[in-house]
A = this chain, B = another copy of it.
Amino acid sequence: MTQTVSASLVVIGDEILSGRTQDTNTSYLAKWLNECGIQLSETRTVPDIEAEIVAAVNALRARYDYVFTTGGIGPTHDDITAESISAAFGVPCQRHPEAYARLLAYYGEKDFTEARQRMTRVPEGGVLIDNSVSIAPGFQIENVFVMAGVPKVMQAMLETIRPRLKAGRKVWSETLIVYAPESRIAPGLEAVLDGIDDISIGSYPFYSEKSVGAQIVIRSHDKAAIARAMTALKGFCVACNYKTEVQASA
């Protein structure tokens, strides 16, 4: 049986913590990892401060199979991820010859400024993560994958990373929308949970002027277990006369 593979994410960026930028990388990464059979188990958002980045990365890389980071690999003074990851691993942060050659060819000698050269810094032992959108690469060191914060670039880097990851057991899910207050649905959920192994159930209430209800999400590595849970849950709703609707999978 394939084992569960776990991952964590460190979002590096003052712009998220100030509320200026709405993070969307987390949900993209979560869904993408799930397709790979990898479970996102924790995320942290830290400011552009080396000690904070080091502490988060070191806590998470010891604990999860993979750590992903987003942000802070550009050319400006607030892009300190390469130095911070080097510090986390206790290795020098140095010019990566291949990245340097590639950016030099792209910009030309005259325009290859000091700022642009910053984008070629990689911790010793790091392996580049190319992408189809931007000339500047991310990098991998051991189980830590350092990516850009710009969503399109991050998404392109993930495609490069994919073959480097071990595949785990994919988690499947189905969602039943139940048009009844969550507190009425709860006993049915308890019964389903007690009766069927290997599933997890989440309940997410919604309120609108038109309707009140909850989205019940059943998740499992085992599609048959999900089907059994859905049947039991629908039976409970029919018995209670609650209107339901199966939500199409994403």
- Size class of the A contact interface (CB-based, 8 Å): 35 or more
User: Are B45 and A76 closer than 8 Å at their CB atoms?
Assistant: no
In the complex, A34→B185 CA distance in Å? 38
Chain B neighbourhood of A32, CB < 8 A:
19
Closest B residue to A29 using CB positions: B19
Q: Does A127 contact B (CB under 8 A)?
A: no
Q: Which residues of chain B are near A113, meaning CB under 8 Å?
A: 183-184, 186-187
Q: How far is the CA of A207 from the CA of B133 in the complex (A)?
A: 10
Collect the chain B residues with CB atoms within 8 Å of residue A104's CB.
none
Segment 1-45 of A: residues with Cβ below 8 Å from B: 14-24, 26-32, 34, 39-45
Counting CB contacts under 8 A, is A213 at the interface? no
Option from B41, B152, B184 in Cβ contact (under 8 Å) with A47? B41
Find out whether the CB atom of A173 lies under 8 angstroms from the CB atom of B18: yes
Closest partner residue, chain B, to A133 (CB atom):
B207
Report the nearest B residue to A76, measured CB to CB: B203
* A171-212 interface code vs B (CB 8 A; 1 in, 0 out): 101000000001111110110010000001111111100000
Quick check: B15 and A202 within 8 Å, CB to CB? Answer: yes
Q: Which of B44, B114, B193, B217 contacts A44 (CB 8 A)?
A: B44
Chain A contact residues, majority secondary structure: mixed
* Given pairs A78-B203, A116-B186, 16 additional interface contacts (CB within 8 A): A14-B202, A15-B204, A17-B43, A18-B30, A18-B31, A18-B217, A19-B26, A19-B28, A20-B202, A20-B217, A21-B204, A23-B27, A77-B201, A113-B183, A113-B184, A115-B186
List 20 A-B pairs, Cβ < 8 Å. A15-B217, A16-B26, A18-B34, A18-B171, A19-B26, A19-B27, A19-B34, A23-B26, A75-B183, A76-B185, A77-B190, A77-B201, A78-B200, A113-B184, A113-B186, A113-B187, A115-B186, A115-B190, A116-B183, A134-B207
